[in-house]
């Protein structure tokens, strides 16, 4: 059996969350069929090489679309949101603008609840964006659009560490404007049209200098909740950002075409893709993302370490309940912004997801993986009783042996599988022969 890939790990952890998560919709996600009357479910596959290896999954299942508490849905939603952002960043750079990423957080300790820290940071952000100082900052940087993303880790020594990523899309040039429809019939709103003059680049030192004023206002907001923050610390003699960090998306002349194409997506995923990220893992000083807490909880359950599993389960419960009750949102588009970028993408001929209708989180979670086709149908009862609990091994069989290995996987367990014409062609391509006759149904499938 080959080593598990990231998708296998996500499924194994997700399966453990069926009993650990405090959210009912996570406990049922991909565990049961969407249509209660459906007797069959489609087995979906994507060829990953010219040898007929397959990446497989099962369609027609319930999904929770919970980006913060579900590894499977969270991964799909993060990639979808990052693709949208990356497309917008590419359009903005093509127009001559600059993308600045500012990160804000607060000092914290084990006694702070996640709710307390998030409430304080929401107040702090209101301080940052209120009144004349914010307007003055926007003028100095030429801030035209603002997007916010949320991320969080939890440490063994200092507890929860939520932080806010703020994308500032800047262009100090003058812009022409035009009126666009807004709200009820007959109402309009002023929108940017075209920049005037040559691009004006913004450097990271300049952006950090300008944003320093907002940092002071951030700290004033935290103080209302009895919290404070420090901008950087010294580690091994080197200055390291702590509560405040500024980056500028740089795709200058020394950047290769490949890196230039990937960088916007990388920067977007940095902010919205916590499901793919890892904290520091030092003995006794771990800094884990909520996803990593779920992973270590699943391992502890498998190893029978009830004390560690219970401790992680308490963290998972606090994270999921707080995220749900406080309605954590991930990089929501301000009104009209997505449509504006879609229009500019069409004008500039830059292809990407903004040219499509915006997908909801539920639609992203439900979407079939790009390029997959139905290769077979399986019993819905077999899925609920057997396949759901061993899907990682089925996926591994598809990666190693393609369609013949998938058929053998079902045959070994006495489960029926009905290949489509496409599935039969894939079997013949790999094995040079048609699949064997269907096996005797598994006794649990009755």
> What is the rounded distance in angstroms from the CA atom of residue 207 to the CA atom of residue 120?
25
Q: How far apart are CA 408 and CA 158, in angstroms?
A: 50
> 153: helix, coil or strand?
strand
Residue 173 has pLDDT above 80, yes or no: yes
Per-residue pLDDT tens over the stretch 359-401: 999 999 998 776 789 999 999 999 999 999 999 999 999 999 9
pTM, entire model: 0.86
178: Cβ–Cβ under 8 A, 6 or more apart, which residues?
190, 191, 193
Q: How confident is the model at residue 261 (pLDDT cuts 50, 70, 90)?
A: very low
- Report residue 423: phi and psi, to 5°: -65, -40
Note whether 94 and 178 are within 8 A (CB). no
- The predicted structure's pLDDT at residue 417: 97
Instruction: Give, in order, the Cα–Cα distances in Å from 90 to each of 27, 78, 107, 264, 271.
Output: 38, 18, 34, 7, 16
| Count of alpha carbons within 13 angstroms of residue 340, beta-carbon side | 22
Look at residue 283 in the predicted model and tell me its pLDDT: 58
- Residue written as token pair 């420090």: 230
Q: pLDDT value at position 178?
A: 87
Compute the distance between CA of residue 331 and CA of residue 162 in angstroms, rounded to an integer: 15
The pLDDT of residue 377 is 97
Contact between 73 and 29 under an 8 Å Cβ cutoff? The reply is yes
pLDDT at 71 over 70: yes
226 CB-near residues (< 8 Å, 6+ apart): none
Q: What is the structure's pLDDT at 430?
A: 87
Q: How far apart are CA 419 and CA 43, in angstroms?
A: 9
Number of residues in the chain: 446
- Number of Cβ atoms within 10 Å of the Cβ of 293: 22
Tell me: pLDDT of 150 over 90. Answer: no
Q: Predicted confidence band at 310 (pLDDT cuts at 50, 70, 90)? A: very high
Give the CA angle between residues 286, 27, 39 to the nearest 5°.
140
pLDDT of residue 434 exceeding 60, the answer is yes
- Whether the pLDDT of residue 276 is over 60: the answer is no
Query: What pLDDT is stored for residue 206 in this prediction?
Result: 94
Q: Are strands 175-181 and 54-58 parallel, antiparallel or unpaired?
A: unpaired
Supply 328's token pair.
């954590």
Is pLDDT of 274 > 80?
A: no
pLDDT confidence of residue 272: 57
Quick one: how far is CA 162 from the chain centroid? 16
CB atoms near residue 72 (< 10 Å): 24
């Amino acid at each position: 059996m080959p080593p598990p890939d990231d998708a296998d790990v996500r499924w194994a952890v997700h399966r453990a969350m069926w009993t650990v998560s405090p959210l009912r919709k996570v406990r049922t996600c991909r565990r049961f069929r969407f249509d209660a009357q459906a007797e069959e479910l489609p087995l979906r596959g994507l060829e990953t090489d010219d040898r007929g290896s397959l990446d497989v999954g099962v369609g027609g299942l319930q999904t929770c679309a919970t980006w913060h508490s579900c590894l499977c849905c969270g991964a799909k939603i993060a990639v979808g949101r990052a693709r949208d952002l990356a497309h917008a960043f590419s359009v903005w750079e093509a127009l001559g603008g600059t993308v600045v990423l500012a990160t804000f957080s607060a000092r914290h300790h084990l006694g702070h609840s996640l709710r307390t820290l998030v409430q304080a940071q929401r107040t702090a952000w209101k301080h940052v964006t209120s009144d004349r100082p914010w307007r003055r900052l926007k003028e100095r940087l030429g801030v035209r659009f603002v997007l916010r993303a949320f991320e969080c880790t939890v440490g063994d020594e200092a507890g929860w560490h939520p932080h806010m990523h703020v994308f500032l899309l800047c262009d100090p040039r003058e812009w022409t404007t035009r009126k666009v429809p807004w709200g009820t019939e007959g109402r309009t709103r002023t929108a940017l049209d075209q920049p005037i003059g040559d691009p004006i680049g913004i450097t990271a030192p300049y952006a950090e200098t300008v944003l320093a004023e907002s940092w002071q206002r951030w700290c004033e907001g935290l103080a209302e909740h009895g919290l404070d923050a420090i901008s950087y610390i010294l580690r091994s003699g080197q200055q390291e950002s702590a509560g405040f960090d500024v980056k500028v998306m740089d795709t200058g002349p020394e950047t290769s075409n490949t890196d230039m194409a990937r960088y916007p997506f990388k920067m977007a995923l940095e902010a919205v893709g916590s499901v793919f990220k890892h904290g520091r893992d030092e003995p006794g000083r771990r800094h884990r993302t909520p996803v990593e807490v779920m992973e270590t909880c699943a391992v502890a359950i498998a190893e029978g370490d009830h004390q560690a599993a219970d401790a992680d389960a308490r963290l998972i419960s606090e994270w999921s309940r707080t995220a749900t009750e406080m309605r954590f949102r991930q990089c929501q588009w301000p009104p009209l912004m997505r449509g504006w970028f879609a229009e500019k993408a069409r004008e500039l001929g830059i292809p990407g997801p903004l040219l499509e209708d915006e997908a909801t989180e539920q639609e992203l979670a439900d979407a079939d993986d790009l390029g997959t086709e139905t290769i077979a149908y399986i019993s819905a009862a077999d899925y609920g009783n057997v396949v759901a609990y061993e899907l990682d091994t089925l996926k591994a069989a598809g990666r190693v042996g393609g369609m013949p290995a998938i058929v053998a996987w079902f045959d070994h367990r006495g489960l029926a599988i009905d290949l489509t014409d496409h599935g039969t062609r894939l079997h013949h391509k790999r094995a040079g022969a048609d699949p064997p006759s269907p096996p005797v149904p598994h006794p649990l499938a009755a």
